[in-house]
Every structure is written in C-alpha cells, then in structure tokens.
Chains A and B, each alone.
Chain A
Amino acid sequence: MDYNLSDLQEWDEKICAIAKKHGLDWFEIEYEFIDYYSMIGAMAFHGLPSHFNHWSFGKSFERTHHSYNAGQEGLPYELIINSNPSLAYMMRENPLPLQILIMAHCVGHSDFFKNNRTFKGTRPDTIVGRSRAAKKRIQGYVEDPTIGIDLVEQTIDSCHAVQFQIQRPGWIRRSRKEIIEHHKERLKEDPDADWLDPTHNPLEPDYDILGFISENARIPDWKRDIIEVCRDEGKYFWPQIQTKIMNEGWASYWHYTILHELDLPPEYHLAFIKSHNQVIRPHIGGINPYHLGFHLFQRIKERHGVDEMFIAREVHHDAAFIRQYLTQEDCEELNLFSYSRKKNEDVSVDDVSDEEGWEYVKKDLVSQVGGGSIPVLYVLDVRKDGSMALGHEHDGRDLDVKELKATLQHVKNLWEYDVNLDTIIDGKYMKF
C-alpha cells in the first residue's frame, strides 16, 4: 500500500463533509481492512461479524473462492452491512483512488439503510448482537448430546429452504385476535358479512410460513429457536432483496457525485472514472442493478429535481421505483427486452422496447425485481388430521416441480407432519 490510515482519514473527512452538504444522513461507518481471503469469508456470512455455523456457508465460500481464482468473477470492492454503526469491509489490496470511491459508495449505502422505509423493521442497532447470541445458542444445540450436529444441520437446511417464505416488508400480518376483532366490527356494520370460522387455523392465509410453523407446530424448543433465528435473518435480508437496484443505484449516484466534487488529483480521477464505468456497465442480456439504478436516479434528478430523488430513496422499493420512474425513453436507451424459454425450445425475444412493446417489457421487469422472482406461498389451512395445506399465488409463472417437491420435504421436516401444496402447472390444478 502506498498510502496509510491518515490518508484515508483525510479523504473520509472530505467525503463526509460533501455528503453532509447534500443532505445525506447515515449511520456512522466502521471501516475494516481485510485481505481477499477474509473478504470471501465475510461474504459467506453476508458480512455479519458473528454468525452461526452451517455447511452452506462453506459451500458459498468455496464457490466464490473458486470463481475468483478462476478469474470468472471479481470480488466486490466493499461489503457493508445494515447495522448501526455500519460495518464496512474493504480490501486491503485496493489502491487509494479505489478506496476513496468505495468510502463514498459506503456513505450512500448507509444513508439508504437508515432512511429507506423498507428497512424499518430490521433493527440495525441490535443485529450484530442478535447474530452473535444466536450463534452461541445454536452451538449449544450442536454440543447438546440429545440434539447434535445432524439434527441441527437438518433443521437449518429446512429453514434455509423457506427462509424468504415469510412476511415481506410492508405486508401486513394480523394476529388471530386482530382478525376476530376486525370481523366483529364488520358484523356490527353488516350483519350479513362473511361468516368467519373460528376453528379455522389460520383464519386468513398466512404468508409467513416460518412464523406460522414456529407458532403452531408441536416441536421442541431448540427447533423453534432455530426457526426463529432463520426467520429473523430472513426478515433482516428481505429489504436488501427488495431494494437491490435502488440501493446500488443510490450508492453509485453518490460516489459519482461526491468524487466529482472532491478535489482529486488528475491521475486519481482517471482511475476513478475507470472503476466507476466498470461498476455501472450494462450486463448484456441481463440487468446490472448498479447500471439500472444509477441510470434511473440520474434521470429522476434531471426530470424531477433532487428533492424527488430523496423522496424516492425513502418511500420506494425496486418494483414501485421502476413502476413509477421507468419511461419509454429509458427502456429504449437501455434497450430493454423481455425473453423467455419456450417449452423445450430455444430462448427467444418476446418484446422489445418500441412503441407497442415497452410497457410489456416494463411489466415483466417489475415482476422480476425486488424479490419478484421468489414465489409467493402461504399457509391455507391445518386440517383436522394435523396436515398443513399450502397455497401458491399463481401469477402466470409455474413453480419448478422438482424443486417444489424437494422443498416440501423441508417444510414437512419443520412442521413434523404432512404438508401439501396446491398450485397450477401447465394450466392444470395440481396437488403435491
């Protein structure tokens, strides 16, 4: 390294001053400098400094490590987590101009974590401690001779299978009591309102499958605890899934803006432009969230002004953000197109961003972003024999049958009883 800590502190001060001037409001950031190997390790645990152990993190490590060594993918320049203070991991090997860009980028992320509405339920003040405590408890179950690593591992396997089949940010989940109260209110106004069967469980479809199992399954406490740990983690990560494009777009917009206002030496400036272009380049045939997000925030500023940008970063998630701000002009400029795989055939283009096609392309894009690629399932009923019935909100996309069957086994493992799922495959109602 041809720079030292005081260089970084100096640049950090300047970055913070500019960010403040623009009205950014972020958690304090703790930078930690690590080598590439530790970076891959940190990535395996999604940046959480203390995390329970599970083989899947080893798998994730191996995969990243392998593709990094094979030159198939670079490592992220930085890894920052939604905590207060925000923990940011930086690669020691990076040159100074890149570190400057990354610090500015981190300020953008931290501001987004702190202000975006989607993140309201994530409890960033306590995440590090929660995660550490969970690690200790789970380690305890592993060491408990009556439980052991195999059972713990199987339970975590199963929890991971449905980790994001929980209440999504912004969705309302009412308790039994609330539903009954609400129903009584309705009956007062309209005595003919639908009859509510109080023996039914759940009273209305419950989209929080892990939550429902945790509350209703007859399972040992350690198992319930593991389910709750995974559910909490799912809740913690859902907002990041929902706002990937906005979050990266926002951070990229700010590193770009801040670095233009920093008094960079010319040779740094060139390095910065190079790195920036590398980050926000389009992925041909796919969507680079940095590229799309950066583009949209720039257009919002041009079309609606800076204030609108700040509003967008506060109230939207990716789907709403694109629905609201992506115009035909953008679609044309980014040359967006939608494609699909025809049955047993090649992949071919369905719509392109021209006069009649762009709205369809936009609709398809909205359905795939922000966790839109995670199917929506819910608990429909627990039958008298104790078996659970799951439902699927079919939106035109079929579930993958092979995966569905394997995943159902995991739900059974958690529920410790039979589980069925109704869905539509190839236009036909199917029961699994």
Chain B
Amino acid sequence: MSTLRYILSRFGQSIFALLCIITITFFLARLAPGGPFLDDKAVPEHLIEKMNQKYGFDKPLPVQYALYLGSLLKGDLGPSFGNKGFSVNEIIADGLPVSFMLGISGLGIALLIGIPVGVFAAARRNTFIDYSLMSIALLGICLPTFVIAPLLGEIFALKLGWFDVAMWENSSAWFLGALTLGLYYSAYIARLTRGSMLDVLNQDFIRTAHAKGVSPVKVLFKHAFRGGITPVVAYLGPALAGLIGGSFVVETIFGLPGLGQHFIKAATNRDFWLINGTVMVFAVLILVMNFFVDILQAWLDPRTKSKN
C-alpha cells in the first residue's frame, strides 16, 4: 500500500518535472539569437516575416507555448525546420534505436569492465595491481572521447579491418562507438566501485565476518558487494542518460545518426520543435532511470527504505 503510494507520488513528481523541463526548454530555445529561417544565403526580410507568420512565431510567446502544449497532448511534437517534410516524431523514432544501441551496449561494456576491476582493486588495495588498474582506469577518463574514438577507428577499423570505420546503415561502426563510451564510463565505475567497496570493507560487520573466519572471497561477494555497489547504482541513472544523450562526439566521429547528433544539429539550426522534442526524450529517459535507480537503491540498502 505505502509502496504503491510512494510510486504514485514519485510518478506525479516526474510528470511535474517533465512539464518544467518542457517549459524551460521552450523559452530558452526561443530566447537564443538567430531563428530557424536564416539560411546559407541571405533570405529577404519580408520572407522571414512571412515564414514567422506561417508557423505562428509572430504570436506572443505565451500563446505559442499554449499551442505547443496543446499539440503535445495530442502526441504531436511538431514539424522539423531543419529536415523539412519530417515530423519530430519521425526523427526521434529514427534516432532512438541508434542511441539505445549505443547507450545500452556502452553501459554493458562499462559495467562488465568497471565493477570487476573496482572490486578487484579494492580487494588488493594499495598493491601494485591496484595502482596499475586504477592508472589504466584513469587513462580512460583523461583521454577525451574525441581522442579515443579516432584511435579505436584507426586501429580496429582501418588497420585491422575488424569493423567499419563509420556510418550506421549496414555497418559495424556502432560497436566502436559503444566501446569508446563503455571504456570511458567503465573508468568512472571502476573508481566508484573501488571507493565504496573500501568503505564497506572497513565497516564493523565485515570485520566481524573476517573475524568469524568467513573466507575472504565470500566476504567480498556475500557481504560487501551489495553495499559497495550502491553508489554505482546511484550513478547508473546519470550514466545511462549521459551515454544516450551525451554521445554526440562519438556519433559525430563514427557518423551515427543518433539522438545526440539530432539534438546538436537542432540546437545549431534553431530547429525549435526538434530541440524541444529531443530534450523531452532525454528528460523522460533520465526521469525514468532515476525512478528505477531510487527503487533499486532502496532495495539494495534496506536502511534507506525504513525511513521512507
């Protein structure tokens, strides 16, 4: 009963948050200088006025806002100005699978590498292994993706010929993109895991377990792992959102048609509805992820729940 109420209220909050984001984005995009109708070559002023009239941009902002919300309720995200003839719905439907593919395989790679490395480093703390693992992890953080991505492309695609170097259609370049993102986030996860595992390993109940003669491996996995993983879980929400939304560097370098690229292009084109649409998708993703993360966290750490 109370769990249901908790979930319901969280849901209500999320809807409210979404509304805020839509509102803020709408007005921010509109405040930026330059409009969607400017072109490579100068467009006569009377034409720009005409187009503003045609798409209702001459109306007062609040009216436009109300009209936009109205069409949102009907599930219509509006037309795109940068890709004429396509609706924002279509563009997002096109880009989302690419982003998911990148984001989820990236996160998979990050977890598969990051957590074990972190746990292992924590178990062997302050040894040579610990230092070298953490150094490698740090290498992943301090080399920006726009260095790693071309390097991976150069090596695995052009030298070894294992993958295609670019493009989405009928191409394996997405895996290199996912690998780039995965390596980067695995470094974060490894460090977070190591840190929190150390915290847990120093707590009394672990010492007790050690004292009782439980095998170190069992202590590590049965007792410490669950608590040690909590900050990583908390990090998953932002990580996945970052992976899906922030992958535009990787998308640009490997020529992948994901949402990140759509967003950046929309922003530079002042493609208002597409900006709002992509931001809304990111927002929904983040809200959903955080929602699940909170629940998962409560489940992992029973003490959190008792207070709620």
A and B associate in one complex: no
Interface residues of chain B, those whose CB is within 8 Å of chain A, are: none
Interface residues of chain A, those whose CB is within 8 Å of chain B, are: none
